[in-house]
Structure 1
């Protein structure tokens, strides 16, 4: 019985080693040429009933075009994520962008936006998002895992803890520069493969 147990206990370990070898690293993916991608994220601090949002716009080769970060009041992490999408849409409208992909790591929010679902807790924000999106000729919403949303995540996190200010675009902290360089390099590799 001990031998049988030991063999069974080892099988998952062998399988997990094989699984780890086939797992691909997730990173930011550029939009198609002629499009802009706006990655959004929020950092929610329940104690403060708020947090911060980030909206980061990049082109198809990973160049940072513009960005926004702000402190917010919100009732939940999902409401904070919705405020981040709304912030990105307002910027896109103000810059009159016509081909924009909005990407978030909040799967529930992206599904709600695509299906036009009702979420009573922050329906006013969802309605505002959909209204703003109608004013952009080509606009879409996509989901990315947290690893594919690293820059927006870091901007929101740093803003929430007070270490990133409004002028960060002209004087980027090292962590932001590092993420930008890494993701731009990856986007160039992906472009060259195409």
Structure 2
């Protein structure tokens, strides 16, 4: 990754398991879900530092969502908006949505989603370093890198939890999985007190 040049061009192919970031870079895993019945979309993101500690996570519900791709792009747009923060200068985004990642590379081929794509592509220039990774759909399992973010997003459509929020640290019901991710990545797990000093 090399400055804003990593924001230009195709989306990178991400790892099959959660990997720790280089020093000073945070990783934002983005999850999404969609219900064809209610036309509601669920979005989530989880931000972790190089030590595997969860700094923040968020969940959002969107109504009148016409398709899964539209839900995916709403999630990605919301995640990039949330990461525009003085402390978030170097961000690696990971998503399991193949179509939305393709759309970032060839936005002119997705005219119906022009507004959302422009939002994402314009915001990436606000970062010192920004990269988008496509992580395989196989990651959406308890052993995969995007499972926690996807589960939070799915809670909107599957469990009918439309409340939107942003919170420090990670959700308690996914704490074990998040810790497994960090340990498998060879991260040094810090206490929440030390993590807050580094965030």
Shorter-chain TM-score bucket reads: 0.7 to 0.9
Say whether residues 1:45 and 2:43 are aligned partners.
no
Greater helix share, structure number = 1
C-alpha change, 1:71 and 1:135, in structure 2 (3 Å) is same
| Match of residue 141, structure 1, among 95, 110, 132 | 132
So what's the TM-score if we normalise by structure 2?
0.74
What secondary structure is seen at the aligned counterpart in 2 of 1:188? coil
1:184 matched residue in structure 2: 182
Q: Can you give the 5+ residue segments of structure 1 that lack an aligned partner in the other structure?
A: 1-24
Q: Distance in 2 between matches of 1:136 and 1:179?
A: 29
The counterpart of 1:32, out of the listed 19, 22, 28, is 22
Whole-angstrom distance in 1 between the partners of 2:18 and 2:40: 27
SS at match of 1:39: strand
Structure 1: which 4+ aligned runs deviate by more than 4 Å? 167-171
Change (3 A) 1:167 1:134: closer
Which residue number corresponds to residue 172 of structure 1? Answer: 171
For 1:157, the equivalent position in structure 2 comes to 154
| Partner-residue secondary structure (3-state), 2:37 | helix
- After TM superposition, give the deviation of residue 118 of structure 1 in Å: 3.1
Distance 1:167 1:37, change over 3 A: closer
Given the two structures, how large is their TM-score scaled by the length of structure 1? 0.76
Instruction: State which structure, 1 or 2, has the greater radius of gyration over its C-alpha atoms.
Output: 1
Task: State the partner residue of 1:10.
Answer: none
CA offset at residue 187 of structure 1? Answer: 1.5
The partner residue of 1:131 within 100, 122, 134 is 122
How many residues matched?
165
Question: Structure 1 stretch 180-189 or stretch 162-171: which is displaced more?
Answer: 162-171
Q: Which residue of 2 aligns with 1:22?
A: none
* Alignment partners' CA distance in 2, 1:87 and 1:131: 13
**Structure 2 gap segments, 5+ residues each:** 1-14, 140-144, 189-199
Tell me if structure 2 keeps the 8 A contact 1:61–1:187.
no
